[in-house]
C-alpha cells in the first residue's frame, strides 16, 4: 500500500466493465484512499462500439457502488473519448467534484476491431486510432492543464499520468495492425510529453501488459484461436508457453504497476513504458 496516495484525486478512463483493467486499477487506487472518477462510454454506438467492447452506464454505476465499500469518494462520468469537449468536461467534473486532479489513468481503448490487414476499413482504422491515441491525447492535454494550476508537493510532484499501452506497444502481431499502431503511438506520445512536462514535475509513464483475460480478453482469445485454426485450449497453452513466468497476466498485475507509478516511490521515474508481461516482452 502507498499511504502518500491517500486523498489524491484520479480519473480512470475505460473503467466500466467488471473484470476489466480499468475497474481493477480503480479498485487498487481506492484501496490506497484515492478519490476516483470512473469513466466509460456508457452506451453502445453501432458496430464500431459494440456491447462486448463498451462499458455500459449501468455497469459503471455498479462498479462505483462496489468501490464505495472501500472508499466513499467514488464518482462516475460518461464521455466519448473521441470528442474533445466531452473529455474536457470529464476533467472539469473531477475538479468540481473533488477540488483538484492529481492522477490520470489513460485506460480507455478499442481492442476488438481485429482482422486481416487488407480487410481493414477506414472506419475501423479511424475508430481504433481515435479512441486509443487521439482520446489519450485529449485526456492528457486537459489533465495537464489542470495539474499546471496546482502547487507542486514535496516528494510527489504536481501530477501523474499513466497510459495503458500493451505488449503491442513494443512488438507487432498479425490481425491487429490498427491496434498495434495506436499502442506504439501511445508510447511515443508518453515519452514526448514526459520530456516536456518534466520541468513542471508531472510524471508521465505507460504500463505495457501482455494479454490479460478480461471479459474483452476472453473474446480476443476465442477470435484468435478461431483465426489460427486452434481450439481455445490449444491457443491458451501456446500463449502460456511463451511467457517465462508461465501464466497470463491478471488485471491486478497491471493495477499494481499503476499504483506504484502513481506513488511517491516512483518520484524519479518518467517517460518509461513498463512491461508487465511475465517476461514475454523484455524491451
Tell me: the pLDDT tens digits for 81-132? 999 999 999 999 999 999 999 999 999 999 888 899 999 999 999 999 999 9
Is 233 inside a domain boundary?
no
Residue 232: other Cβ atoms inside 10 A: 13
- Report percent pLDDT > 90 for the chain: 80
Is 281 inside a domain boundary?
no
- Number of folded domains in the chain? 1
Contact 22, 13 (CB under 8 A): yes
Is 137 inside a domain boundary?
yes
The confidence score (pLDDT) of residue 53 equals: 63
Q: How confident is the model at residue 220 (pLDDT cuts 50, 70, 90)?
A: confident
* Residues of the domain holding 86: 3-213+251-275
Q: What is the pLDDT of residues 1-40, one digit of tens each?
A: 899 999 999 999 999 999 999 999 999 999 999 999 999 9
Return the DSSP state at 78: E
Is 81 inside a domain boundary?
yes
Catalytic residue among 8, 170, 183, 235: 183
For residue 183, indicate whether it is catalytic.
yes
pLDDT at 217 over 80: no
The confidence score (pLDDT) of residue 23 equals: 97
Catalytic residue among 179, 223, 235, 268: 179
CATH number of domain containing 28 = 3.40.50.720
Q: What is the mean pLDDT of residues 46-55?
A: 66
Contact 204, 270 (CB under 8 A): yes
Residue 283: other Cβ atoms inside 10 A: 6
| 206 to 25, 120, 157, 203: CA distances (angstroms) | 13, 27, 17, 10
For residue 179, indicate whether it is catalytic.
yes
Contact 54, 43 (CB under 8 A): yes
Is 208 inside a domain boundary?
yes
Is 234 inside a domain boundary?
no
Contact 31, 157 (CB under 8 A): no
Which of left, alpha, beta for 6 (phi over 0: left; psi -120 to 50: alpha)?
A: beta
Q: How confident is the model at residue 222 (pLDDT cuts 50, 70, 90)?
A: confident
Is 45 inside a domain boundary?
yes
Amino acid at each position: 500500500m502507498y499511504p502518500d496516495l491517500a486523498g489524491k484525486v484520479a480519473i480512470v478512463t475505460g473503467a466500466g466493465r467488471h473484470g476489466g483493467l480499468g475497474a481493477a486499477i480503480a479498485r487498487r487506487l481506492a484501496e490506497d484512499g484515492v478519490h476516483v472518477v470512473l469513466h466509460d462510454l456508457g452506451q453502445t454506438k453501432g458496430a464500431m462500439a459494440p456491447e462486448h467492447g463498451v462499458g455500459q452506464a449501468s455497469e459503471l454505476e455498479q462498479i462505483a457502488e462496489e468501490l464505495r465499500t472501500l472508499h466513499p469518494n467514488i464518482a462516475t462520468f460518461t464521455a466519448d473519448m473521441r470528442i474533445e469537449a466531452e473529455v474536457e468536461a470529464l476533467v472539469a467534473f473531477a475538479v468540481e467534484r473533488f477540488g483538484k486532479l492529481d492522477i490520470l489513468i489513460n485506460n480507455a481503448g478499442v481492442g476488438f476491431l481485429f482482422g486481416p490487414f487488407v480487410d481493414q476499413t477506414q472506419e475501423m482504422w479511424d475508430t481504433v486510432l481515435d479512441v486509443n491515441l487521439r482520446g489519450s491525447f485529449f485526456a492528457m492535454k486537459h489533465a495537464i492543464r489542470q495539474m499546471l494550476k496546482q502547487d507542486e508537493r514535496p516528494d510527489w510532484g504536481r501530477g501523474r499520468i499513466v497510459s495503458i499501452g500493451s505488449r503491442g506497444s513494443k512488438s507487432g502481431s498479425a490481425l491487429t495492425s490498427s491496434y498495434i499502431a495506436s499502442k506504439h503511438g501511445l508510447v511515443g506520445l508518453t515519452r514526448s510529453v514526459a520530456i516536456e512536462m518534466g520541468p513542471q514535475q508531472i510524471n508521465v509513464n505507460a504500463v505495457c501488459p501482455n494479454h490479460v483475460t478480461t471479459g474483452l480478453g476472453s473474446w480476443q482469445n476465442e477470435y484468435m484461436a478461431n483465426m489460427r485454426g486452434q481450439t481455445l485450449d490449444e491457443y491458451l497453452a501456446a500463449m502460456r508457453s511463451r511467457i517465462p513466468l508461465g501464466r497470463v497476466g491478471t488485471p491486478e498485475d497491471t493495477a499494481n504497476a499503476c499504483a506504484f507509478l502513481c506513488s511517491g516511490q516512483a518520484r524519479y521515474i518518467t517517460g518509461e513504458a513498463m512491461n508487465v508481461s511475465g517476461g514475454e516482452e523484455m524491451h
